[in-house]
Structure 1
Amino acid sequence: MGVIFMETMEAILTRRSIRKYLPDPVGRDKIEIILKAGMSAPSAGDEQPWHFIIIDRHDLLEKISEIHPYAKMLKNAPAALLVCADPEAPRFKDFWVQDCSAACENMLLAAHDQGLGAVWIGIYPAEKLVTGIRELLNIPENMIPFSAIAIGYPAEEKSGRSRYEVSRVHDNSW
């Protein structure tokens, strides 16, 4: 039986933040699909100012959860993907936040499409978190740990919910 992929809108509308995971490891093939999705995100001038660290060592996941007060789910996650930014992209230096955010969203959707649960864990711009994670993972000083995405097979189910709010839509002007 071949792989069945979700339709785009179904994936977008049903993706939820999952913070509880089964202990099963996530295969490298699935991680690479998620990374390919991240690297397929649009970026200003196609500069692709991102680098990624695959973290699947339990001791490192636990240490990150100790550094980051909102990353406690990493204690039980089989893996995480750390998105790092090179803020010195030569032509579009000030757009790396948007670029890395687009990569993160693509990765969350790809994880969901692969039957995995995932949650976005913000790191930047909290300097204490940036410094702590940089030191823990030996990230070069010129790179910025932007966010982590915890991934694993979900141990919780959350149904999609409509977030469309017509009062937030304006035609042609406010």
Structure 2
Amino acid sequence: MKGIIERRSIRKYTDEKISDEKIKEILKAGMYAPSGGNAQPWEFVVVRDKELLNEITKIHPYSHPLKEADCAIIVCGNLEKEKFKDLWIQDCSAATENMLLGAHGLGIGSVWLGLYPEMDRVDGVRKLIKAPENVIPFSIVSLGYPGEERTVVDRYDENNVHYENW
């Protein structure tokens, strides 16, 4: 619970490099996400190239953290792996969240940058990473060692909880 509650979206990073081993651990966290029918319809594109990260910022209007990020992981849904129509969306959401939590546990800052269902973002990123048509870029996890501290805010609100019925 501590990791879930203390994880914050980090948009500013230091220059410190993330090791390949830690990137692999973050990817592993994504691959351990629950998946409908255990389809695991995800694919991950690791981007370290600064030029490519900067190109993404021209496509995605809220992706400025990529300018300072050491790395980004683009989470994609592979429709050829899909067992149940459109469950890839939930599966890729779970994988993205697992990677955010995994990064936090390793002391690495991250922020979820949404692509899908904004098709201009999806198509633009798909072209940049040369993904086939059956692969849909879903989200980007921007990664770097935190260059900012974010406070924890109590988000629990009993008004949003209903028991047995509405």
> Fold conserved (TM > 0.5)?
yes
Percent of pairs with identical residues: 51
Instruction: Give the C-alpha shift of residue 162 in structure 1.
Output: 1.1
Question: Which letter maps to 1:132?
Answer: G
Q: Which runs of 5+ in 1 are unaligned?
A: 1-8
Note if 1:45 corresponds to 2:30.
no
How many correspondences in the alignment? 166
TM-score of the pair, normalised by structure 1: 0.93
Per-residue CA deviations over 1:101-132 (Å, capped at 9, x if unaligned) read 00011000000000010000000111111111
Q: Which runs of 5+ in 2 are unaligned?
A: none
RMSD over equivalenced CA pairs, Å? 0.8
- Of 123, 135, 144, which residue of structure 2 is paired with 1:131? 123
Instruction: Give the C-alpha shift of residue 161 in structure 1.
Output: 1.6
Q: What is aligned with 1:59?
A: 51
Q: What is aligned with 1:12?
A: 4
Whether the 8 Å contact between 2:126 and 2:136 is mirrored in structure 1 is yes
- Written as runs of structure 1 = structure 2, the 5 A alignment for 1:1-174 is 9-174=1-166
Per-residue CA deviations over 1:29-62 (Å, capped at 9, x if unaligned) read 1100000000000000000000000000100010
Per-residue CA deviations over 1:60-97 (Å, capped at 9, x if unaligned) read 01000111101011011110000010123352122000
Question: Which letter maps to 1:57?
Answer: D
SS at match of 1:93: coil
User: Equivalents in 2 of 1:165, 1:151: separation in Å?
Assistant: 29
Whether the 8 Å contact between 2:82 and 2:88 is mirrored in structure 1 is no
Question: Which letter maps to 1:88?
Answer: E
SS at match of 2:141: strand
TM-score of the pair, normalised by structure 2: 0.97
User: Equivalents in 2 of 1:159, 1:27: separation in Å?
Assistant: 26
Whether the 8 Å contact between 2:41 and 2:88 is mirrored in structure 1 is yes
Whether the 8 Å contact between 2:41 and 2:82 is mirrored in structure 1 is no
Whether the 8 Å contact between 1:66 and 1:72 is mirrored in structure 2 is no
SS at match of 1:164: coil
Instruction: Give the C-alpha shift of residue 25 in structure 1.
Output: 1.4
User: Equivalents in 1 of 2:103, 2:83: separation in Å?
Assistant: 31
**CA gap 1:111/1:90 in 2 versus in 1, 3 angstroms:** closer
